[in-house]
Structure 1
Amino acid sequence: MDDTVYTTRPDGQGRLEKEMAVYDVLEKLEIPYMRLDHEVTPSIEACHDVDSRLGIEICKNLFLCNSQKTQFYLLLMPGMKKFKTKDLSSQLQVARLSFANEIYMEEFLNITPGSVSIMGLMNDRDQRVRLVIDREVAESEYMGCHPCINTSSLKVKTKDILEKFLPFTGHDYTVVEL
């Protein structure tokens, strides 16, 4: 792992177009960030070293849907908090939430499993995905997320995500207590 914490975009060499598009949007919206490049982090547990280097707790990002596969949700919650489908379903008044198929994840967010991130909402131009944020995450000063790929992590002010990034994407959000 490169121990350097950057405040600028990578040069683009060897980077995916969807990752570089995240940096383009952050710069356009004048959202400062800190970036750490690292090995693949396929799970929240694998993010522990990244968390401590950036001084944050990476969010657990879950891509969910209703049983008819007609409503899709991106849930952001603290990484170490247990997810109970029943708790979220009742707050959203949706029966039987489950994990959505990766086909929808790629189609709506242009993200693959293990790289799910709020940044993917910039690719959801039709607002097919509803953002749901646990209160702890919504009230934290900083948010940790991937730039649409799980070989880098970003530290961004939550206020900038909620007040600049989300309006840019056209997404609103619902705060829940899990």
Structure 2
Amino acid sequence: MDASSAHQDSLPLSSDALLERLRSWGIGFTYHEHVPLRTVEEAKSVEAALVEPGEVPFRLKNLYLRDRKKRNYLVTLEQDREIDLKALGAELGIGGLSFGSADRLMEFLGIRPGAVSPLAMATGVETGVIFYMDAAARNADRIYMHPLVNDRTIGVTPEDFERVLEHLGAEVHWLEL
């Protein structure tokens, strides 16, 4: 199965159910449907249609990682930030970082490759995933991310993003990179 909304009912939490939760919490967001996006490069092809004129957006690159001790991490960075896993591990004080498998991604974050997003902490909180996010997101007008599927993108203000994390019970470790 791919990571599109056509298969959202096979996820622990569907995209539709997540969006309904956001609405019930009073979270305002922009909503966009588009072709399935699997990479940052593919995302860049549709970005112009998402961003409002004059807006300072924060576009994400999400990494699902594991360490030698089998702890799971979701690391969300600005999409154009260069990443060296060894250097990132040193910055975080974590040794032996590597990418997690697709099976573990589903087990620990409830999503498929191509749809990794901070919103997956809806499942990650329950499975002990540790969440790190680029502090530069706090300076954006809007943060853009997939709502658990890769053919939809929502945009939220940094303030509403932090409210979402509070509702999810997700602790965020802000990275000053």
TM-score between the two structures when normalised by the length of structure 2: 0.85
The residue identity in structure 2 corresponding to 1:165 is: V
Q: Report what 2:62 is aligned to.
A: 61
The Cα shift of 1:131 comes to 0.9
- Whether the aligned pair in 2 keeps the contact of 1:138 and 1:175 (CA below 8 Å) is no
Quick one: percent identity of the two aligned structures? 24
Give the match's secondary structure for 2:61.
strand
Following superposition, the deviation at residue 20 of structure 1 comes to 0.5
Q: CA deviation at 1:86?
A: 2.5
Any idea what the Cα deviations from partners look like across 1:91-110, whole Å, max 9, x if unmatched?
22111111111212101211
Matching of residue 20 in structure 1 with residue 16 in structure 2? yes
2:38 aligned with 1:38, yes or no?
no
Shift in Å, 1:177:
3.0
CA deviation string 1:112-160 (max 9, x = no partner): 0011011111123425111101121233231110010000111111211
Give the alignment's Cα RMSD to 1 decimal.
1.8
| Runs of 5+ unmatched residues, structure 1 | 1-12
> Greater RCO between the two (CA within 8 Å, min separation 6)?
2
Q: After TM superposition, which residue ranges in structure 1, 4 or more long, deviate above 6 angstroms?
A: none
Question: Equivalents in 2 of 1:96, 1:176: separation in Å?
Answer: 19
**Closer/same/farther in 2, CA of residues 54 and 170 from structure 1, 3 Å limit:** same
Residue matched to 2:87: 87
Identify the residue that residue 74 of structure 1 maps to in structure 2. 74
Aligned residues: 164
| Structure-1 residue corresponding to 2:98 | 98
